[in-house]
Structure 1
Amino acid sequence: MSDQQVTGTNNGGLMDRILDKVERAGNKLPDPAMLFASLLAIVWILSLIFSFFEFTTKIPGTDDPVRVTNLLAGPELAHFLSSMVTTFTSFAPLGVVLVAMLGVGVAERSGYINTAIKMLLNTTPKLLLTPMLILVAIISHTAVDAGYVVVIPLGGVIFYAAGRHPLAGIAAAFAGVSGGFSANFVPSAIDPLLMGFTESAAQIVDPEIQLNPLNNWFFTTASCLVIVAVGWWLTDRVIEPRLANTKIDGDEDDMPVIEEIDRKDRRAFSIASWAMLGGLILLIWSVWPSDSPMRNPDGEMAAFDAPLMQSIVPLIFLFFLLPGVIYGFVAGTFKTSKDVINAMSKTMEGMAYYIVMAFFCALFIEEFGRSGLGVLLAVEGGNFLQALSLPGPVTLAGIVVLVAFLNIFMGSASAKWALLAPIFVPMLMQVGFSPDLTQAAYRVGDSVSNIITPLLPYFPLVVVYCQRYVKGTGIGTLVSLMLPYSVVFMVVWTAFLIGYWLIGDLIGLPLGLQANYVYPAP
């Protein structure tokens, strides 16, 4: 065994002990669904206490003082019970996510998405192997779990077949799938999901405000280039050289090989992709005329009231459903229409926990807004930030660091944002930050620490992938392997966000569709 291996093992043991403490601390947190239920009870109690106080703080845009409503009063409890069903069913993120996932689930379970990923990776020149792997890993977010179960193990397979260290391939793919989670240039269900929480939080201060589901799209698209470039440099210049003396000691018989895509799958993929392209052309053709029914009465296609903007989620559904169905029947993974329905059903089974969490989350957000505590916290918090007179870049960087730290203990992007949005968004609106910009800072922080937390559900699975090549791989090994990505991503991506904001605001480059940097919007 080499000196490097011995050092790595010792470091891994120390890191294991540190991570054991982190894991124990994280496990003491209640389940996210129960966390929302607990917070709901806390809001009720606080509303009772603060309802006895009179505040001089004014509601933004009015001369009315902030008042806290006692939610435990008889009429308020009656309203809570009578509106519980509609509060849940009208919860904006719920329908958005479920509809989008119906289409994505068909494309994933038919094999269309997996074949697309394999074809992209198999046709990449060795020189561009690392950046293409990271790029495909980023794109795989669209298929939710496809990146974890397909791209990450394929990263090891392809690097091994190319004569490179397979753990470097796994690390690069993991960095793209999880560390670059919010750097995707392909719209996916996470965009409208987070926007729903952001909009609900912003309406605590401004009930009339509306946000676009793609309000961070330009920024996440540009971020993709940053993550690919930084990940490429780290993999080839830092990670792989450190693995040079790490012996590959996996069983020869268990070593994976790249399976060729057979003619039937290629034919199915070609037909399905042409159908998707045809659908895109049809959409462009239908939107292009100035009197298109997809535009608003003023002829604008990107306005909030334009049918095109209101149809983003259904379009995501259709653009994955169509090629998924065609691929399934041509490739033979679907035999009857029942198989398509089963694919949707299986996808919804995987969303069962989200639905439960969304129920308690919807109730918490509704009651938090009705209590007046959100307005009070936002206004007082805004006044506090104004009193500190911190530079804007410092405020954004603070959000990124705080979210990245919380992400180690609570991995769900939606669960964290559901908790933090009602605090961060209204508070920062009071000091002139738009909800769009606050959400962008959250997305950076939510991504960069995914790859170093054992509490990530797929983290143990990545350890298993590594053990196929290096038997002694443990949690500490993987954490030490991914730590450079996490730290550098945080520093570079935060700097990029601040630079994008300052330059974009100066030259008029928005964060996304109908997005602004300041509140109120100019």
Structure 2
Amino acid sequence: MDKTPTNPNPSDNAAAKSGWVDRALNFIEVVGNRLPDPAVLFLALMVIIWVLSWLLSGVSFGTVHPATGEAIQVTNLLSGDELARFLSSMVTTFTGFAPLGVVLVAMLGVGVAEHSGFINAVLKKLLAVTPQMLLTPMLILVAIVSHTAVDAGYVLVIPLGGVIFYAAGRHPLAGIAAAFAGVSGGFSANFVPSAIDPLLQGFTQTAAQIVDPQIQVNPLNNWFFTSASCLLVTLLGWWLTDKVVEPRLKKVAIDGDEEDMPVMHGLGGREKKALYLALVVMAAGIVTLVAWMLPETSAMRDAQGQLASFSAPAMKSIVPLIFLLFVIPGVVFGYMAGTFKTSKDVIDAMSKTMSSMAYYIVMVFFCALFISEFARSGLGTLLSVEGGNLLAAMNLPGPVTIMGIILLVAFVNLFVGSASAKWALLAPIFVPMLMQIGFSPDLTQAAYRVGDSSTNIITPLMPYFPLVVVYCQRYVKSTGIGTLVSMMLPYSLVFLLCWSVFLVIYWSLGIPLGLQASYSYP
């Protein structure tokens, strides 16, 4: 089948126009493939911390802790007492690691909603009722919201993007590109709270406590910013898809086998009824929760009647509320649609989700030990104070410093694809260091999210990147890594530039980043 008779080999055409992209990709692949698995990387870093602590334990640096006024001394982690402490506290270090419990609890609820078919039904319904002229922005918006279900965007929305555009008489690769830009490029833009929020917050809080052991970070500390970013990414993606990417694809022939091309099936009558009832239940739950919180005497408020303080039960319940927000409508939809027949099916859905988190749990084990030892050694405090002093001496404008962090994260993201693994590595360095020069952990985390999202769509080391190539090959057989990167590069560069500027403007206007969030420390 050939709907657009032009160049029979689009990948050669793309490669000819972007030779430097191919060279950069080769470099990224070589370097990235030589990096150890993140779990092994954390183990290796912990050993390095041990050795450095032994070598530097007798050195007097003359650096004073800004909070205590005492000289910072490196602790020898290879001493007998420290090794005994490490072994005796290993289990509690792992089980007490902040991100572990919050992520797993949130994912239990999301898993039920995903495996019941509730999330897929919502996404399909949104796209089915969208007018032609709003097809691109709605696809991108749905792709952004799909982050809530973790993998749903990659396995459902991206291929659906190709199907929908093809059915509308548009180039399917443009639909795949738009969906990919929303799912992966807009990974940190979402107005719906999801598991990624407490995941990042856990690492941020742990890192901040290297400098200030009493500091607390709200799981929704970037919620307002990511909600506003949702609109920004949608508008940018809309313009890029319709004005830049799709016009370039007009000369790319669709030569896939028609029988191999996926077809989007609508919702059946039973699924529609199940969806409507589940949405009604979800809305009723939200209304009930708001009604419970509003009275000044509400049990969800703290002793002073505040709803947004760290001691308020409402703030302590954010993760359980995310769990309930998905598990209740997921169960209702599952039973009504027939995907759940017994209570065992619900538990099986949770079990499948937990099995998909197995690698995360393994990685977190080594990550928790590394962060604990890094903080215990004093090297983290020393590095952050000295780094903060260096940044203060350079006297760079605040926006320049934040832009530098964003660009550095965007570069590192080309080699380390996992958002959690990368922030676990960078947070203990960036967060305390920027706290020393007056930047809050909330602002540092927001900068990280911008840099992390923007280059997701151009690195072949992103786990789902090869899958997106396969989606494209259903329509254009000769699609390769270079083709996909050259197609996604405009999104990456524009997102990185405009989103960074947007954060600086957002900051300069003093708009809150999220719940209980600030821009400065202390």
Q: TM-score range by the shorter chain?
A: over 0.9
d(CA) in 2 for partners of 1:171 and 1:266?
Answer: 29
Match of 2:3 in 1: none
* Displaced runs of 4 or more, over 6 A: none
Measured after TM superposition, the shift of residue 502 of structure 1 is: 1.1
Match of 2:93 in 1: 87
d(CA) in 2 for partners of 1:145 and 1:384?
Answer: 41
Q: Secondary structure at the match of 2:509?
A: helix
Asked if structure 2 preserves the Cα contact closer than 8 Å seen for 1:56 and 1:66, the reply is yes
Determine which of 450, 453, 456 is the counterpart of 2:459: 453
Measured after TM superposition, the shift of residue 255 of structure 1 is: 2.9
Determine which of 183, 193, 209 is the counterpart of 1:203: 209
Match of 1:519 in 2: 521
Q: Secondary structure at the match of 1:103?
A: helix
Over 3 Å counting, the alpha-carbon distance change for 1:400 and 1:14 in structure 2 is closer
Measured after TM superposition, the shift of residue 55 of structure 1 is: 2.1
d(CA) in 2 for partners of 1:44 and 1:127?
Answer: 59
- Note the 1:128-277 alignment, pairs <5 A: 128-277=134-283
Q: Is 1:20 aligned to residue 22 of structure 2?
A: no
Measured after TM superposition, the shift of residue 153 of structure 1 is: 0.5
Asked if structure 1 preserves the Cα contact closer than 8 Å seen for 2:105 and 2:319, the reply is yes
- Note the 1:74-473 alignment, pairs <5 A: 74-473=80-479
Aligned residues: CA RMSD: 1.3
The Cα offsets for residues 392-441 of structure 1, whole Å up to 9 and x where unpaired, read as 11111111111011101101111011111110011011111111001100
- Note the 1:51-62 alignment, pairs <5 A: 51-62=57-68
Match of 1:510 in 2: 512
d(CA) in 1 for partners of 2:436 and 2:466?
Answer: 42
Whichever residue aligns with residue 194 of structure 2, its letter is S
Asked if structure 1 preserves the Cα contact closer than 8 Å seen for 2:67 and 2:211, the reply is no
The Cα offsets for residues 246-293 of structure 1, whole Å up to 9 and x where unpaired, read as 111111222333212110000111111111111111111211111111
Range that drifts further, 114-123 or 386-395: 386-395
Asked if structure 2 preserves the Cα contact closer than 8 Å seen for 1:155 and 1:170, the reply is yes
d(CA) in 2 for partners of 1:268 and 1:481?
Answer: 38
Asked if structure 2 preserves the Cα contact closer than 8 Å seen for 1:87 and 1:363, the reply is yes
Range that drifts further, 184-193 or 248-257: 248-257
Whichever residue aligns with residue 234 of structure 2, its letter is V
d(CA) in 2 for partners of 1:259 and 1:229?
Answer: 28
Asked if structure 1 preserves the Cα contact closer than 8 Å seen for 2:15 and 2:22, the reply is no
Identity %: 69
d(CA) in 1 for partners of 2:68 and 2:480?
Answer: 58
d(CA) in 2 for partners of 1:419 and 1:255?
Answer: 41
The Cα offsets for residues 47-89 of structure 1, whole Å up to 9 and x where unpaired, read as 1111010121111123210111101111111111111111100
Determine which of 482, 498, 522 is the counterpart of 2:504: 498
Measured after TM superposition, the shift of residue 9 of structure 1 is: 4.9
The Cα offsets for residues 180-239 of structure 1, whole Å up to 9 and x where unpaired, read as 000111100111110111111111111111110000011111111110111100000000
Measured after TM superposition, the shift of residue 11 of structure 1 is: 4.3
Whichever residue aligns with residue 2 of structure 1, its letter is N
Whichever residue aligns with residue 343 of structure 2, its letter is S
d(CA) in 1 for partners of 2:445 and 2:261?
Answer: 43
Asked if structure 1 preserves the Cα contact closer than 8 Å seen for 2:158 and 2:180, the reply is yes
Measured after TM superposition, the shift of residue 25 of structure 1 is: 1.3
Q: Secondary structure at the match of 1:212?
A: coil
Measured after TM superposition, the shift of residue 3 of structure 1 is: 9.2
Whichever residue aligns with residue 516 of structure 2, its letter is Q
Asked if structure 2 preserves the Cα contact closer than 8 Å seen for 1:140 and 1:177, the reply is yes
d(CA) in 2 for partners of 1:491 and 1:12?
Answer: 20
Asked if structure 1 preserves the Cα contact closer than 8 Å seen for 2:460 and 2:466, the reply is yes
Match of 1:2 in 2: 7
Whichever residue aligns with residue 19 of structure 1, its letter is L
Whichever residue aligns with residue 483 of structure 2, its letter is T
- Structure 1 residue runs of 5 or longer lacking an equivalent are none
The Cα offsets for residues 447-506 of structure 1, whole Å up to 9 and x where unpaired, read as 0000001111111110111111111111100000000000000000000011111111xx
Q: Secondary structure at the match of 1:148?
A: helix
Asked if structure 1 preserves the Cα contact closer than 8 Å seen for 2:8 and 2:252, the reply is no
The Cα offsets for residues 141-190 of structure 1, whole Å up to 9 and x where unpaired, read as 00000000000000011111111111000000000000000011110011
The Cα offsets for residues 306-332 of structure 1, whole Å up to 9 and x where unpaired, read as 001000000101110001111111111
- Structure 2 residue runs of 5 or longer lacking an equivalent are 1-5
Over 3 Å counting, the alpha-carbon distance change for 1:9 and 1:445 in structure 2 is closer
d(CA) in 2 for partners of 1:81 and 1:439?
Answer: 32
Match of 1:29 in 2: 35
Asked if structure 2 preserves the Cα contact closer than 8 Å seen for 1:12 and 1:480, the reply is yes
Whichever residue aligns with residue 487 of structure 1, its letter is L
d(CA) in 1 for partners of 2:67 and 2:335?
Answer: 58
TM-score (norm 1): 0.97
Asked if structure 2 preserves the Cα contact closer than 8 Å seen for 1:159 and 1:168, the reply is yes
TM-score (norm 2): 0.97
